[in-house]
Structure formats: structure tokens, C-alpha cells
Amino acid sequence: MPKDLHELPKLRDSLSYLYLEHGHIEQDALSVQFIDKEGRIPIPAASLAALLLGPGTTITHAAVKALADNGCSIVWCGEDGVRCYAAGCGETRKAYHLLKQAVLVCDPVRREQVVRRMYELRFDHRLPEGLSLPQVRGLEGVRVRTAYARASQEFGVPWRGRRYDRSNWGQSDPINRALSAANACLNGICHAAIVSAGYSPALGFIHTGKQLSFVYDIADLYKVELTIPAAFRVTAEGTANLESRARQECRRVFKEARLLDRIVPDMEWLLDVPVEVPEYGEDIDADAACPTPLWEPLLGEEDRASDGGDDSGEGAGVAAG
């Protein structure tokens, strides 16, 4: 796989899709292979846009990761691809959360308001008026450093700062390894909540420019409360099976803190999402493949009169056929 993203193959040069059914897909060395009664068939993951999995197919975790790393979408579909069941989607097909998130991200004034609300949620109190954004970030840096120092003193684990080399994981000190394992669990939980609620993981407010920017934003709300104490606690108990024990401790801590109950309401408060769900005619979640209404500009009274329209609203929300 190319190291430089500029060397990645262009989508326009890729094969469009490959449909497979009644077989098993797994990673074998550096390739992904499809196995059925006829034998093994290599899958061109690096030059494939979409892999359609029909009935009777199974796929391993390693194969999914390899395909994702190569930018190949995986779609679970019916026989001969006639129905689409899933494609790494969340639990809702509604887009109003994403639309609201996009509006806020693209408006600098409203984006800064969300950023300040994120910091207020971290501090658990309203920030003083007149603070600039750099000053707020400075206060947050002090709060995080204080949390590390407090945990170090409480659990008796030496702390020399948050530093690690992802290319040389084993050389990191135990507490940094425990923190990374714990934060990975937290990121995964937040990612799942974001996608299931219909938001985009990429449209971040504090973090920006990466596909998981919003995940990092939301995860940062809970690190001081949850993952920092958890990581220091398990490190103080010993370094054997450290990453595994950190994940188990996170599972316990997240359950006690009722984290899954909190993430979506916290996001709704941060983004000021209305309680009432906008109506789009048909229930969008009732049929994932049903086309949604067409967008049309709102007409003023004078425009309606000149356009020959009436007050019935017919045509303003006509579903695509």
C-alpha cells in the first residue's frame, strides 16, 4: 500500500465493483482472497471501488480492514445485488442532524459558539465573558495537565508527559500505552454514537481536516473524567497485559458513567439540535432505499401569485419517483 496519499490510485481509474456470493473472504498475507468450492480467487482491493457481498458470504475482520485501508467500500446486498441491506451505515437514514452540523461548521461565528460550548461542557461551568479562543484553549491545557498530575499523584504512577511513537509502540512507557488503549476505546464508542445519530465523523469544530475530526471533538469531552483515571489505575496495578486490562477497565468505567446515555444528548446540546424532528413526508427510516423529497426554494407570496401556485403546498415536497 502506498505510503504517500498522493500516490493513491484515482477513483476514475478503478474497477467499478465486484459481486460475490456463497463463499468466504479473508486476508492471505498481503492480499484479500475469495474462497469457494472452485478454489481461491484474489480480490483487487487496491483498484476496486466497491465490493458487493451477496447471500452466503462471510468476511474476516482482517479482510474488512484491508479493504477499508485501500478505499474499497463494502456493501451487503441481496442476490445479484438487487437489494442493498447495509454499507457501514448508522442506525438512521435521516439527514437533519448532518445538515445542521454542516451549517454550523461552515459559519465561522456559529462554529466558534459550538467550540465554546464544547469547552464549557468540559469545564462543567460557563466560561467568563470576554475570553478569546486562545485563552480558552490555554485554560483547557492547564486543566488537562492538572488532571494528569493529579492522577499521577493519586495512583503513584510517574508521569513525564503525553508522548509515544506509533511506529515503535513497544518503546512507549506503560502509562502512555494504557492511555492510548483507553482513548482508542473511547474514540470507538464516540464514533459509533456519532454515526448512529446521523452526524458526520469528519465535520469537526475544534479538530479539523481529518475524517474523524468530530470523533476527537466528542471524545475529548470525557477523557479527563474517564480514560485518564482508568489508565493510571490499571498501570498502577501492574504492566502485564496492560492494553487488554485498560480496555476491560474502560468497559467498566463507561458502564458506571452511563456514557452511552450521555453522548447523543450532549451532541444535541452542543449543536442546539431541535427536539422535534423535521417532517419530510414519508418516514425516511421505514424504507432505507426509498427516495426522499426534492428540495425546492421557498416561494414568497408574490412569487406564488405570479407562479400560479396556491396555498395547498402541493409540489413543494414531491417525492422523487
pLDDT at 30: 79
The C-alpha atoms of residue 130 and residue 132 are separated, in whole angstroms, by 6
Report the DSSP beta bridge partners of residue 52.
Answer: 19, 75
Cα–Cα distance measured from residue 43 to residue 32, given in angstroms and rounded to the nearest whole number: 5
Which contiguous run of DSSP H or E holds residue 139?
helix 133-155
Cell of 70: 485501500
Q: What is the pLDDT of residue 5?
A: 47
- Tally the residues of the chain: 321
Residues 6 or more apart whose CB falls under 8 angstroms from that of 199 comprise 97, 98, 101, 214, 267
Burial bucket for residue 30 (CB in 10 Å: 0-12, 13-18, 19+): exposed
Q: What averages of pLDDT result for each successive group of 10 residues across the chain (321 residues)?
A: 52 80 92 93 88 93 90 84 73 83 96 94 88 92 96 96 78 90 91 88 95 94 97 96 92 92 93 72 65 69 48 36 32
Q: What is the pLDDT of residue 128?
A: 85
- CA 204/CA 216 separation, integer angstroms: 8
Q: Which residues pair with 58 in a beta bridge?
A: 24
Distance from C-alpha of 202 to C-alpha of 209, rounded to nearest angstrom = 7
The pLDDT value given to residue 29: 81
Contacts for 34 with CB less than 8 Å, ≥ 6 apart: 20, 23, 24, 25, 40, 41, 42, 43
- Please give the model's pTM, rounded to 2 decimal places: 0.77
Residue 164 has a pLDDT of 76
